Amino acid sequence: MRDFIYKLHLLLGLAAAIPLLGWAASGFLYSLPNAVEGGVVENIAADRVRISPAEAMASSNRLSGRELPTTALTLLMKDGRPQYQSIGGLGADSIFIDAETGIAEFSKPPTARTRFFREAHFYFFAGSWQVPLLLILSGIATLSVLTGIYLNIVYWGGRLRGKRAKPFVEGGDA
């Protein structure tokens, strides 16, 4: 039985490590200054905001040529200017509305680094399978941890009782 659990643990560890590596690498990238668009955080210059949220939404609707189902409207500083970012109804795209002038423009395509960050860190590449994939990978990681705990209990339990635990031998079962 221990032989089977050991092999299962190795396979589960490998299956859990590969997506974890992508997630960790993308998180590291995000922590580097200016590596990902929007990585710079600036205080909002509230005294420069001339456009109300309702006017910003109307401006984004005019740009798109239809009334958008806006799910989020965020005020932020972008390139030294206060901007609203309208999200919703365009998929992964958004519209930026200058909070001083009301001029709206579609967001620019992200760089390769930003695309990697979004795809790897948030599993956007999975589309509608994003949540099921995350649940499956979480289950694999949990099973890997549980088999590791079991193997440690067996190993250390034998050592603490004064018995020498049998080393793992290919093809043998303890």
| pLDDT tens digits along 14-42 | 999 988 888 888 778 777 766 666 666 78
pLDDT in tens, 124-135: 778 788 889 889
Structural domains counted in the chain: 2
* Structural domain containing residue 15: 1-37+110-174
61: Cβ–Cβ under 8 A, 6 or more apart, which residues? 67, 68
Answer yes or no: do 101 and 115 share one domain. Answer: no
Answer yes or no: do 32 and 118 share one domain. Answer: yes
Can you tell me whether residue 92 is helix, strand or coil?
A: coil
> What is the CATH classification number for the domain harbouring 50?
3.10.450.40
8 token code pair: 């299962």
φ, ψ dihedrals at 11, nearest 5°: -65, -45
Answer yes or no: do 62 and 93 share one domain. Answer: yes
Answer yes or no: do 99 and 129 share one domain. Answer: no
pLDDT in tens, 121-161: 777 778 788 889 889 999 999 999 999 999 999 888 877 88
pLDDT surpasses 60 at 92: no
Answer yes or no: do 172 and 114 share one domain. Answer: yes
